[in-house]
Amino acid sequence: MQFSKRLDLFGEEVFASLNKRRLALEAEGRTIYNLSVGTPDFHPYDHVVLALIDSARNPDNWKYSLGDLPELKQAVCAYYKRRFGVEDITPEMVTSCTGTQEGMGQLALALLDPGDTALVPDPCYPVFAGGVKIAGGECVYYPLAAEHDFRPYVAGIDPAVADRAKYMVVSLPANPVGSVATPELYDEIIAFAREHDLLIVHDNAYSDIVYDGPRGGSFLARPGALEVGVEFFSLSKSFNVTGARVSFLVGRPDVVAAFAKLRGQTDFGMFYPIQRATIAALEGPLDEVEHQRHLYQERRDALCDGLERIGWERPNAHGTMFVWAKLPGGRTDSLAFCEELMERAGVVVTPGASFGPHGEGYVRMALVLPPEGLRAAVDAIEAAGIR
């Protein structure tokens, strides 16, 4: 069988080999602290679960949905006004997708022809670049560097590259680097998009996991954003429903319509009970979401304080459920360090190099254990003498 040359664009899966070794160590009876995968250990909220159960009892809700319920789109519009203060979102500016991971790949197919250019942050969540490659586009990285607090620095992007780019991916709060936006930064990005006639595609998966101050917001709340951009809005991390794959593309109607047209060729729509559960989440109370944000901050503090105490450079961790840690002791190979950390301390993390060229020299750690578990992981690192 001759498979598509498209598969040659992607390297071997580093996570599979690390996970295989983790399972072997657990089988040996080793204590393992798995901080590699960003799946929340918090539970979905009761009112969301009950809405899904109630809807699933109706046999009619097991048919093809073939699209979004009008109530669902209206719930997203109302949520954007209530939560983010964006009053201009209308139903034609909203469409669902089966998770932002899937949506980002589908959007690339809707926007790019072979040879077209897209600007992608480096480091970044892998599908940002993967979607461009699958569409046959040229992926040009712009760095998220320590000297700019791991934020986009548009003044450093080659104007000629920006002129030929069709879109630019922005992700704030940023996975994996943990940086957050400021209103001024969003305004710079909007002005940059206008100057170079490119679309901004903003990933807003972690708006409810921002530390050391007020809650996060939406790119679309800034003046002019709706003219130059769209935003992926996900329920996964705020409402702990990662497996349900609930996300929306929100923003410029022409882009939303193009995305929905392409998605409609391969997708029969979101399962009705999931749509009803989503409505319950969007219309329900948000006090639990806010409480969870503070719980994540306690975890962030436990891990970052502990790593700093044992001699590591304090990680960058201002938002998301991750911390971005520089390799200690002058090490430079993130994959080799991950293997060392797992073998010697039983702590499993993700190599920074898997997120792009500028990720080398760092690791990503997920805040998926309670504070005491994270402190125990730090103690294991200290006991192993890794500093």
Does domain 46-283 fall under CATH 3.40.640.10? My reply is yes
CB within 8 Å of 332: residues ≥ 6 apart = 360, 361
Measure the CA–CA gap between 383 and 387, rounded to whole angstroms: 10
SS3 state of residue 118: strand
Q: Find the angle CA(109)-CA(196)-CA(159) to the nearest 5 degrees.
A: 105
Please tell me the predicted confidence (pLDDT) of residue 125.
Answer: 93
Q: Minimal CA–CA distance to 201: which of 173, 181, 171?
A: 171
Per-residue pLDDT, 38: 82
Pick the CATH number of 5-41+288-383 from 3.90.1150.10, 3.40.50.970, 1.10.260.40, 1.20.1440.230: 3.90.1150.10
At 338, list the tokens.
């991950």
The pair of three-digit structure tokens given for residue 196, joined into one six-digit string: 């170079």
Question: Looking at the chain, which runs of residues are DSSP E strands?
Answer: 33-34, 94-97, 117-122, 138-143, 165-171, 199-204, 229-234, 247-251, 322-326, 347-348, 350-351, 362-366
Closest to 377 measured CA to CA, from 323, 319, 318: 323
Q: Which residues, 6 or more positions from 3, have their beta carbon under 8 angstroms from its beta carbon?
A: none
Q: Which pTM value belongs to this model?
A: 0.95
With beta carbons less than 8 A apart as the criterion, state whether 248 and 95 touch: yes
Query: 3-state DSSP call for residue 147?
Result: helix
What does 240-278 look like in DSSP terms, one character per residue? T-GGG--EEEEE-HHHHHHHHHHHTTT-----HHHHHHH
Q: DSSP label at 210?
A: B
What's the confidence (pLDDT) of residue 45?
A: 97
Give the single-character DSSP code of 224: T
How far is Cα 113 from Cα 93, in angstroms, rounded to an integer? 23
Q: What is the C-alpha separation between 169 and 111, in angstroms, rounded?
A: 12
Tell which residue, 183, 165, 169, 171, has the closest CA to residue 224: 183
| Positions of the chain with pLDDT lower than 70, given as ranges | 12-14
Contact 206, 216 (CB under 8 A): yes
Asked if residue 118 lies in contact with residue 165, where contact means CB atoms within 8 angstroms, the answer is: yes
The tens digit of pLDDT for each residue in 123-157 reads: 999 999 999 999 999 999 999 999 999 999 999 99
Q: Tokens in use for 193?
A: 């998009």
The whole-number pLDDT of residue 13 equals 66
Give residue 21's pLDDT: 87
Report the distance separating Cα 82 and Cα 275, nearest Å. 19
Please tell me the distance from the alpha carbon of residue 143 to that of residue 150, in angstroms, as a whole number.
8
* Cis peptide bond prior to 176, omega within 30° of 0: yes
Task: For residue 136, count CB atoms less than 10 angstroms from its CB and return exposed for 0-12, middle for 13-18, buried for 19 or more.
Answer: middle
pLDDT at 15: 72
Residues with Cβ within 8 Å of 147's Cβ and at least 6 positions away in sequence, in order, are none
Token digits for 224? 């002019």
* All structural domains of the chain with their residue ranges: 5-41+288-383, 46-283
- Residue pair 348/339 in contact (Cβ under 8 Å)? The answer is no
CA angle 230, 262, 140 (to 5 degrees): 55
Phi/psi at 365 (5° precision)? -120, 130
Euclidean distance between CA atoms 86 and 377, whole angstroms: 41
